[in-house]
């Protein structure tokens, strides 16, 4: 296991002992993602293997839990004696009626998934869980006077951010329309089927739902199978002319998202209009090897972090461990969730020195160009590195 628990007396907290940031703290520090205990208002069963969990947001936290459609919340809980964190997309539109004080996420059960099993089987209304404020860059600003065609390609639980994005676009852009290509195994496993049918009624002529099932016969052969390249090409040719689409949203397993993105770019779509989020990464790269470090060894590099208005200097005995792992030894408040380069929760800006990332499925090229990195994937290249989580 990566050694992330042994405290080291070599780290220096340059503001240790100072009071926690208050309203006088810099705006960026105030808005950094942080956990708050939230009460579960409802747990609704969506399918045999998925629930929607709704949290109550008290008045004083409304501003912190304001969100952009497509963003996610990270839930933290102690399960069988271990802290577990997992991110779940917010599945409500920005202006959903009666939801101002509520945030709803959808949780599909994952085999062996401790958090998804806990939320599906154990959690009940009235329980209190730690929930991080919203994060994520799978977003697209709406334009009230826009006349656009928004098209989403989603599979399985990839619907969760997409339903928020498309519903918000339909509600906030009266001149726009939306199409959803939605892949599932069978009808009984489709999350939000009723809500999607309702969207067709609420926005007649403006919302088109194309359901593709891999393990259930369909009247139309085109809609039976997986949302692979061949099927997407056929659907584009028959129903969704690519050159008449303004914004694309891709969400689901790695292969589906990368396959669809490749196809769109080959068709000449501007990458700036292709928004994507990956739920499971299987890119063939070797899994991250656990790194055990001797915290008493001379440092190979030194990392200085600014987090929540406090600066901490952290010696790193090995450049092989990630900056996040080194940071957590002394700053357990550092934000993270997936530790796999997918969710973006651990993002920070490099303000001095140079780092390299193992992989990145969360940041856009322009964010990387601006010096944003994922701490869970970053290793120092230079002897001294400074990261600002508040920037």
Least gap, CB of 374 to ligand FES (angstroms): 4
Q: Which is nearer to ligand FES, 50 or 373 (CB)?
A: 373
Least gap, CB of 137 to ligand FES (angstroms): 11
Residues that bind ligand FES (CB under 6 A): 336-339, 341-346, 362, 374, 376
Tell me which H or E stretch contains 25. Answer: none
Q: Who contacts 5 (Cβ-Cβ below 8 Å, separation ≥6)? A: 329
Q: Which is nearer to ligand FES, 171 or 325 (CB)?
A: 325
Least gap, CB of 170 to ligand FES (angstroms): 30
Q: What is the largest CA-CA distance in the chain?
A: 68
Least gap, CB of 138 to ligand FES (angstroms): 13
Q: Which is nearer to ligand FES, 301 or 346 (CB)?
A: 346
Q: Which is nearer to ligand FES, 33 or 338 (CB)?
A: 338
Could you please report the per-residue DSSP string of 105-120? EEEE--TT-HHHHHHH
How far is it, in rounded angstroms, from Cα 265 to Cα 277?
Answer: 16
Least gap, CB of 335 to ligand FES (angstroms): 8
Rounded to the nearest 5 degrees, what angle is found at the Cα of 370, between the Cα atoms of 365 and 373? 75
Residue 222 CB coordination number (10 Å): 15
Q: Which is nearer to ligand FES, 115 or 362 (CB)?
A: 362
Least gap, CB of 362 to ligand FES (angstroms): 5
Q: Which is nearer to ligand FES, 183 or 380 (CB)?
A: 380
CB neighbour class for 116 (10 Å; exposed up to 12, middle 13-18, buried from 19): buried
Using alpha carbons, list the distances in angstroms from residue 231 to 92, 133, 211, 216, 340.
29, 38, 12, 16, 30
């Amino acid at each position: 296991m990566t050694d992330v628990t042994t405290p080291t007396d070599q780290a220096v907290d340059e503001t240790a002992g100072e009071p926690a940031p208050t309203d006088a703290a810099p705006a960026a520090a105030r808005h950094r993602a942080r956990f708050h205990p939230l009460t579960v208002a409802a747990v609704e069963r969506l399918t045999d293997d998925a629930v929607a969990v709704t949290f109550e947001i008290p008045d004083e936290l409304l501003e912190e839990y304001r969100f952009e459609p497509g963003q996610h919340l990270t839930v933290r809980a102690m399960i069988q004696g271990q802290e577990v964190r997992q991110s779940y997309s917010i599945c409500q539109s920005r202006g959903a009626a009666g939801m101002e004080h509520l945030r709803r996420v959808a949780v599909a059960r994952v085999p062996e998934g401790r958090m998804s099993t806990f939320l599906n089987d154990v959690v009940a209304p009235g329980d209190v869980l730690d929930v991080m404020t919203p994060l994520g860059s799978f977003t697209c600003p709406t334009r009230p006077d826009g006349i656009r065609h928004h098209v989403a390609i989603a599979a399985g639980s990839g619907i969760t951010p997409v339903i928020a994005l498309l519903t918000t676009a339909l509600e906030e852009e009266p001149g726009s329309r939306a199409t959803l290509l939605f892949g599932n195994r069978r009808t009984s496993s489709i999350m939000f089927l009723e809500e999607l049918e309702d969207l067709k009624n609420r926005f007649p002529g403006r919302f088109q739902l194309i359901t593709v099932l891999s393990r259930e016969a369909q009247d139309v052969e085109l809609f039976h199978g997986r949302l692979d390249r061949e099927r997407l090409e056929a659907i584009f040719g028959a129903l969704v002319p690519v050159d008449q689409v303004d914004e694309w949203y891709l969400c689901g397993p790695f292969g589906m998202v990368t396959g669809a993105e490749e196809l769109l770019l080959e068709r000449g779509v501007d990458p700036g209009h292709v928004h994507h989020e990956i739920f499971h990464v299987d890119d063939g790269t070797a899994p991250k090897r656990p790194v055990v470090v001797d915290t008493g060894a001379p440092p190979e590099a030194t990392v200085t972090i600014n987090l929540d208005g406090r600066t901490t200097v952290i010696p790193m005995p090995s450049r092989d461990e990630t900056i996040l792992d080194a940071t957590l030894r002394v700053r357990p408040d550092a934000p993270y969730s997936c530790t796999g380069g997918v969710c973006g929760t651990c993002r920070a800006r490099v303000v001095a020195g140079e780092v390299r990332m193992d992989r990145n499925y969360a940041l856009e090229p322009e964010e990387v160009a601006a010096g944003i990195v994922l701490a869970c994937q970053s290793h120092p290249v230079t002897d001294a590195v400074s990261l600002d989580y508040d920037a």
